A and B are shown apart, each in its own frame.
Chain A
Amino acid sequence: MTVPAPQKPQVLLDALAATIVGQRATLEALLSSLIAGGHVLLEGPPGLAKTLACRALASAVGGSFKRIQFTPDLLPSDIVGTRIFDQRAGEFTTVLGPIFANIVLADEVNRAPAKVQSALLEGMQERQVTIGPQTFPLPDPFVVTATMNPLDSEGTYALPLAQMDRFLVKILVDYPSSDEEGRILERFGGETPVLPADVVSIDDILRWRHDARAVHVEPRLKRYVVELVGATRARHDYVDRGASPRATLAMAALARARALVAGRDFALPDDVRAVAPAVLRHRLAFNYRTLTDKVDPETIVAGIIAAVPTP
């Protein structure tokens, strides 16, 4: 038996980029979230390789992958599992749900009612699931990537802000450029995409997490993080509520992860500023004026970030 050589995060990023055309920011955010130990909310129109990116990530890390299609008739037990009576044994046995996987794709998470969403989000937060009298820990690493389609809002259940807060980042997946679309046509051409297999191991992921926690963040940079999150709570024409301290922790963790992916053992203002929009955009409560004035929330977030001087 041979022990695979330790790999660096960049290897995984390159492997994902070899499968997914473009979407570099999405792939980097996925990798950073994996290292930071957080969950990812992907928002974008259908057909932008959101699911493919998650599948590629799971395949590349050699972990287990489960996909749950959220629908209005989904039940919590369809996610976490249930207890069934085994007539032969004469006792209840537990059947674990699809949430027990290293990478879980919750497709169109806003199409299921609140109690189903809560079942998933509780597992995301606690990293354990209680079924009947028993509590089961979720595997490590455990990353949920949930997708939302911003175009079809009919028949959806918007995620409450408190539940959105549990996602480490919200990534906006945009259409590819015409060059990228041409490459997509050449690369796939109707064939099933070949996923990168076992590029890194689960042990690599756990080691990266350990290394990321050791990435140095200068006190001035920590202050910058606090000021950025604090700026969202300042009086603003379009923002009713700002981000919570969970955003502060998320921003620092992601900045560390980004620095590690870049091969550094110290974080820079660039790391913080790069992850800030993804950390903040789903944690702000925009008021009705955003709709009436037709202001893009992304512009608001960008304005808040730009108003805070970098250290």
Chain B
Amino acid sequence: MTAEPKSLRVGETLRLRIVAHVDENILQLDNATLPDLSGFDSLGDERRCSTSGHGSDCVEVMTLSPTEAGDRTIAPTTLDAIDARNGKPSHFATNSVTIHVGGSVQPHGVTRALLDDLLKPIAILLIVGAAAYALLWGFVRRKPPPAPVPPPARPVTPATSPDPLLQLVAALARERTRACVLAVRDELRRRVGAREDETLDDLLARRATGDDPAVPGALPAVERAAFIDDFQLDGAIDDALRTLSKWHQS
């Protein structure tokens, strides 16, 4: 958060600039808490967010006019949000800014008024130039402020549902029953494009699983678990899970 100028007199204006960088593309930053600005008249408030490949920069520029003389400290702007980096609720805050406000502007006759008339456009140009310089400098040198992140960063997930085979394998590992074995076998057969009349030998012979080299290893193991005697089922399920795990890792 910056103020320009930091020293002025009552009745004059300053621009308070608050900058926030967010690692995601957003259109606006809604939940920032602005500091208490009592002692200033608000003459304008401009907000904008610009996005790039690196996220969004949100800038709020407030035009303020002090109403009382003296040193005034504008407290930090704060933001409460979920930090997408660790998923925890965090409190973000900018720096504070101290403004020196002198006595009020007093007119001193015609000469001063004339001088003011002449100098005023120059001063305005200088102020605008300085502001522009500061703005550019701020963008170039700006160290990313403690990253206020947008409200709840939603994890990016594909639109498709979870792999049914993985769900069935998980169920097999959990329940270890013949029914689960058969469900895995059915899904595996469906996945390798087995017809109703095709047996394991057919599938291995035509290498329907050629694009997935681990599947041929998984098929016989699952077939074994599907047809082995009950008293050997446990060991067969272990073997099947091992080969399925190998397939999954590949």
Nearest CB in chain B to that of A214: its residue: B229
Once the chains bind, are A218 and B197 in contact (CB under 8 Å)?
A: no
As a 0/1 sequence over residues 191 to 212 of chain B, the CB contacts with chain A under 8 angstroms (1 = contact) are 0000011111100000000000
Residues of chain B from 197 to 250 with CB closer than 8 A to chain A in the complex = 197-201, 223-224, 226-229, 232
User: Given B197, B200, B229, which contacts A268 in the complex, CB threshold below 8 Å?
Assistant: B200
Nearest CB in chain A: distance from B186 CB, A: 11
**Cβ–Cβ < 8 Å partners of B224 in chain A:** 266
**Cβ–Cβ < 8 Å partners of B226 in chain A:** 218
Once the chains bind, are B199 and A310 in contact (CB under 8 Å)?
A: yes
Given contacts A216-B228, A268-B227, contact A306 B197 (CB under 8 A): yes
User: Given B196, B197, B201, B228, which contacts A266 in the complex, CB threshold below 8 Å?
Assistant: B228
**Cβ–Cβ < 8 Å partners of B227 in chain A:** 216, 218, 220-221, 266-269
Nearest CB in chain B to that of A221: its residue: B227
Nearest CB in chain A: distance from B134 CB, A: 78
Chain A interface SS verdict (over half):
mixed
Given contacts A216-B228, A216-B229, A218-B227, contact A268 B196 (CB under 8 A): no
Nearest CB in chain B: distance from A239 CB, A: 19
Q: Does A161 contact B (CB under 8 A)?
A: no
Count chain A CB atoms within 10 A of each CB in B198, B227, B228, B232 and give the residue with the most. B227
Cα–Cα, bound, A307→B228 (Å): 25
Q: Does A270 contact B (CB under 8 A)?
A: yes
Nearest CB in chain B to that of A309: its residue: B196
Once the chains bind, are B197 and A270 in contact (CB under 8 Å)?
A: no
Interface residues of A (CB under 8 A from B): 216, 218, 220-221, 265-270, 273-274, 305-310
Interface residues of B (CB under 8 A from A): 196-201, 223-224, 226-229, 232
Q: Which 9 A-B pairs have the closest CB atoms?
A: A216-B229, A309-B196, A270-B199, A266-B228, A270-B201, A306-B197, A269-B199, A218-B227, A266-B227
Show 29 residue pairs from A and B whose CB-CB distance is below 8 angstroms, ordered by the A residue.
A216-B227, A216-B228, A216-B229, A218-B226, A218-B227, A220-B227, A221-B227, A265-B229, A265-B232, A266-B224, A266-B227, A266-B229, A266-B232, A268-B200, A268-B223, A268-B227, A269-B199, A269-B227, A270-B199, A270-B200, A270-B201, A273-B199, A274-B201, A305-B197, A307-B197, A309-B196, A309-B197, A310-B197, A310-B198
